[in-house]
Structure 1
Amino acid sequence: MRVKTKVKRKLIAISVIISFVSLSYFYTQNVFESKFFEEWKSLRSSLNASGECLLPLNVNPFDSRVTPYLIKMPNRIHCPKTELSRFYSIGANGESLTFVDENGILKKLNVPHHLNCVYQNFSRKGDSDDEIVYSEEKPLLSELNLIALNIEFVSVKCHENGDLVYSNTHFYPSTLKQLPKSDEYLPSVIILVIESMSRLNYLRFLKQTKSAFESLGNFFYLKGLTKLADNSFPNMVPLLAGLRPYEGEFPPNVRPDEGPYDDLPFVWKEFAKKNYLTALLEDCPEFTLFNYIAKGFKQKPTDWYLRPYWLHIYGQSSASSLSYCYNKNSKLDLFLEQVKIFLEKARDVPKFLFSFFIEVTHTDFNKAQLLDSHYAKFINEQKDQLNDSIVFLMGDHGNRYGAFLETNIGRIEERMPLLGIHLPIKLTENEPHLAKFLRINSERLTTWLDAYQLLLDVAHSNYTIIEKKEKKRQYSLWREEVPVDRTCNEALIPDNYCVCEQKIEVNGTEKFVQEAARILVDH
């Protein structure tokens, strides 16, 4: 685009490749308040009417500008022994003194010790999402049928000669309703979210996980996916409810910063209407999506909701946020075990599961390495169920902390989260265009609103090709092409998160161009 001017001199042909990736640094220095940025935004807005978004799709995750910030770490979380460790992993198959079997029976192993063991079940308290209520302590003799007693969460303590020698907390989806089998093909949806996971950091640090995920086959990466807002909440709500919290899109009775959020049109409600079992799993209860400085839910939002369990164990010093372990286990393994148990319990019916693991990677992108073997093992062990399901492996946004953000690549990563999608072979054999459009759209500018539309399609069993070509806020990622000339403005991506590179020829005598040049030299 040529910018016309009254100045009667030859335009200085300056081919300026201006991307927000480089301009975002100026934003952090409060330069955006200057008239320069007002003029720049006006210029880019005029370009967006017809310009093509050139996405940074082929960035090297080990670029030399990145390596100074990389710290080598193990690929697993190691949990040291504690004072109460002698009764963990004592069974023939590694069971602890107490454990829950596949039938929901809480069992206690026979050991040559005179132990006095008690159990105490607990659940959420009334309409509070932040309180739990406990039953009275009762003796645990040999076993307890959790399903018959409608117990989802139970704490066990054992004493020997008056001293506490064992403590553990168990879970089981005992209250899941029995659903009839359907003759309609209803693929399950399993969403695995890792806090702050960008696609580049996935390529950099989760090699085993990547190999396991890709071994499922029929996989696609949305390389142009760009976040809509800064942190987790305003990015995941568009995915889960199709609404942006801070743009006046919520129902009038739901306050975005406060909640409660029961009345939002969550996509899991649409799945529930089709007789899917639903689950919402998050660790680190202080920072969960709907509870950080907010009220969460007045009623249990899904069929299985693990918040009471995590509130309980985080209330114990052995599982504080300073440790990634609880008793002998990493909290990540406990979290993935909860996913596994739900999948097993709901094996014969369609299910929708949204899991969000928060703690380890929230403030340090290097710590993604600690997750690798855990997620890889989970995917490999659950391959039979995952193969037949629609699987999202994803982040919410990229890394948001540290000096790494001062690099261009760091700023790209912060804005471009991971989204890998696996589709069941049966689905794409029946509807081959789904894979075709996902492949096309894998390198187009996309957002969480587009991913929401895909989920809505599944909930409504809507796989028909969309023939009509029109500009809109969200596109079905697998039923139509996302326009190649889609702009950040059209995708509802704010300027400061836009990663489109656009080549503009401008007049070197323009004041805002000279100011841009000065700033580039200064920084």
Structure 2
Amino acid sequence: MSVHEEEFYNELLKQYFIHRHSIHLESENLDKTNSKLACVHPKLEPFNPLLMQYFHKLPKLQCAKMKNWVYIHNGTFFIYDNTQKLYGDITCDIYPLFRKDDFNTIEGEVVKDIKNGTILKDDFIRVTCESSSGESYTNRHAGVAFHPELYSRTSNLKHQNLDLNVFIVGLDSISRMTSIRKLQKSRDYFLNVLNGIELEGYNIVGDATRSAIFPILTGKRPDELPEIRQGYPDATTADGFPLIWKEYKKSGYLTVWADDDPGIGVFHMLANGFAEQPTDFYLRPFFVAADFVLEFKYGFFRTYLHSFLSLFMEDPPVNLPLCYGSKPKHQYFLDYLKGMFTMYPTKRKFMFSFHGEVSHGNNNNVEYMDEDIANLFKFLNTNQYLNDTLLIFMADHGSRFETFRSTVQGKQEERMPLFAFRFPPWVEKVYPDIINNLKINSKRLTTPFDIHETLKDILSFSGTKKGDVSKRGISLLDEIPQERTCAHAGIKPHWCACLDWKPVLQTDPVLVRLLHAVLSKLNDITSSHRSKCAVLELKEVVDILKYKPNKNMVEFEHVASRTETFYQVTIVTVPGNGRFETTVRHDQDEDILILEEQDISRTNAYGSQSNCIELRKLLKYCFCKFNKSV
């Protein structure tokens, strides 16, 4: 570090300490109650005025005024009655849609002049219709068809143990607090009508969606699985992952994986997806076929485009980003899930649905789905499908990029997403310890690894017990010990929401070295692509916090002694105004600073700043040299 750099860092630190007091007034809302628990999460206020300025009420989602002409119900093709009243005699042809691979959907042979009430053989179709008055209609539709081979595969299998369907309804980027703010109808129905149980101490274990979903599905972190990201020399597909739905399929379940957005799919965002269809029912081919090219390529900007167009257009284009014709995209998604219950009511089902488009870029927009999700829960309950179904309502993480993420509470919310369970009432009567443990665990530290163990336990349940704190994952059907810490649960300090971070003192001797270490690490990451990626410089010190393990905390896996301290450093860099939140470990015995790449969060969107680079892991760090963005 040069003398000039040291002087520059000292000046930025001086400015930071002048303004620090106003920053940390906000942390008064994060006080923790006294508890015997080793890990106590902060008590957050969902309607904190500092955050509510970022949220607003939304009108009902507006799609095209010209109503869709046709629909699919329980695997059957129908023409709306009012369509024929409006346009006269209707003649329709359908083209079955089939998965070619995870990135291409192909059309089968046309079926001419399909009649109203025809039973379909395929889940996905493209429809073209002509009317006697000269009007025309074309759109793509989805519905669960009857597949004899799948029905017969499970017809003679006997289910043991808890014998429950598993239905997971997942959303992207929704913290528990945001669900209170924006999903009031669906939360109320789930928690107060269905008597669901919410995990108040649910904590993510890493950055972004894959670090949340992969541990649920496999029990492993992304870096413990084969590489599937594009641009890596050994990248493969996810077919070899030890996915939990494979175990359910072996046990005779029909399996469903449904995510909605081709561009930001869990297994597909800059990744290779699957070589073979991964589950019995797979919604991706429909959305690949139905999404237009602009949406597929520029997934991050769709929700903003819709909001913008809706402000200025009384009747927006037929396929607005959140609509297919007159019907919201998310309704196609939810209706398909309903169809699994109506078409296969007696078959055991493992269904994992994860909807991303509406909420990924803008938390406010998840309100568009609130009533429809509540209606899904009502539909399942009214028709008694929940009598033999474990229903899970969850999110992967809180918002990672929105403006409120830069607040103290916003940081905590990212680490504490929505996660809630609802067992059928008979479970509490037959297995009261299950529900009792789940209620106890709702107040304790829980993670995606625990969800995986719970899903395994559903298939092989043999009784409840006290969880083993030495294991990374503990089934929530067992009691999680009070002494469990983030270290036990496999959560590194950077992601642990129950650590007691404190503001640093201005006299702390390592502050200048901290800034140098963070900036050096950011530039080291992109050094092999320096021809494309600019060297980053420090613009602002936003925050520096400090945490030192105490006698109540078990040492983290890499901590060899008690003479180590963790620092959380948030800075802004130029060019690009990138905002980075990092956790740096200070080994006081060796007097060295250690920063690992997985302990770096980019907390504002990079947008098009990284368009020159293909390697996914560099996107949040690289500012392209010839980029005009600021």
TM bucket normalised to smaller: 0.7 to 0.9
Quote the residue 1:71 is aligned against.
56
Quote the residue 1:439 is aligned against.
439
Give the TM-score, by structure 2 length: 0.66
- Structure 2 unaligned residues grouped into runs of 5+: 1-11, 17-35, 306-320, 515-540, 546-568, 571-630
Contact 1:117 1:139 in 2 (8 A): yes
Q: 1:133 aligns with which of 92, 100, 106?
A: 106
Q: Calculate the aligned-residue CA RMSD, in Å.
A: 3.4
Q: Per-residue displacement from partner, 1:68-120 (whole Å, max 9, x unpaired)?
A: 2222223x422231xxx2xx3xxxxxxx5433343x33244683635553221
| CA–CA distance in structure 1, aligned partners of residues 204 and 197 of structure 2 | 18
Give the TM-score, by structure 1 length: 0.78
Q: Per-residue displacement from partner, 1:291-349 (whole Å, max 9, x unpaired)?
A: 11112111111111111111111037899945211111111111110110012112112
| CA–CA distance in structure 1, aligned partners of residues 334 and 186 of structure 2 | 14
Q: 1:359 aligns with which of 345, 357, 360?
A: 357
Report the CA distance shift for 1:434/1:355 in structure 2 as closer, same or farther (over 3 A). Answer: same
Quote the residue 2:390 is aligned against.
390
Contact 1:159 1:165 in 2 (8 A): yes
| CA–CA distance in structure 2, aligned partners of residues 116 and 97 of structure 1 | 11
- RCO comparison, higher one (Cα < 8 Å, 6+): 1
Report the CA distance shift for 1:134/1:490 in structure 2 as closer, same or farther (over 3 A). Answer: same
Q: Per-residue displacement from partner, 1:4-36 (whole Å, max 9, x unpaired)?
A: xxxxxxxxxxxxxxxxxxxxxx9xx99xxxxxx
Contact 1:434 1:463 in 2 (8 A): no
Contact 1:109 1:142 in 2 (8 A): no
Report the CA distance shift for 1:366/1:143 in structure 2 as closer, same or farther (over 3 A). Answer: closer
Q: 2:376 aligns with which of 355, 359, 378?
A: 378
Q: Per-residue displacement from partner, 1:111-168 (whole Å, max 9, x unpaired)?
A: 363555322111011xx21111212334224257555xx3221111123589662113
Q: How does 1:273-284 map to 2 (within 5 A)?
A: 273-284=250-261
Q: Per-residue displacement from partner, 1:377-399 (whole Å, max 9, x unpaired)?
A: 11112212134311110100001
Quote the residue 2:138 is aligned against.
167
Q: 1:229 Cα shift?
A: 1.3
Q: 2:187 aligns with which of 203, 210, 234?
A: 210
| CA–CA distance in structure 1, aligned partners of residues 265 and 467 of structure 2 | 39
Q: Which amino acid aligns with 1:307?
A: R
Report the CA distance shift for 1:317/1:157 in structure 2 as closer, same or farther (over 3 A). Answer: farther
| CA–CA distance in structure 2, aligned partners of residues 403 and 508 of structure 1 | 27
| CA–CA distance in structure 1, aligned partners of residues 119 and 470 of structure 2 | 53
Quote the residue 2:204 is aligned against.
227
Contact 1:245 1:256 in 2 (8 A): no
Q: Per-residue displacement from partner, 1:179-232 (whole Å, max 9, x unpaired)?
A: 226364511111000111110111112111111112443421111111111111
| CA–CA distance in structure 2, aligned partners of residues 116 and 180 of structure 1 | 38
Quote the residue 2:151 is aligned against.
177
SS of 1:376's partner is: helix
SS of 1:275's partner is: coil
Q: Percent identity?
A: 28
Report the CA distance shift for 1:413/1:166 in structure 2 as closer, same or farther (over 3 A). Answer: same
Contact 1:398 1:414 in 2 (8 A): yes
Pick which of 306-315 and 116-125 moved more.
116-125
1:121 aligns with 2:119: no
Q: Which amino acid aligns with 1:71?
A: H
Pick which of 394-403 and 501-510 moved more.
501-510
Q: Which amino acid aligns with 2:204?
A: K
| CA–CA distance in structure 2, aligned partners of residues 467 and 403 of structure 1 | 41
| CA–CA distance in structure 1, aligned partners of residues 404 and 96 of structure 2 | 45
- Structure 1 unaligned residues grouped into runs of 5+: 1-25, 31-49, 89-95
Contact 1:146 1:172 in 2 (8 A): no
1:414 aligns with 2:414: yes
Contact 1:250 1:256 in 2 (8 A): no
Quote the residue 1:485 is aligned against.
483
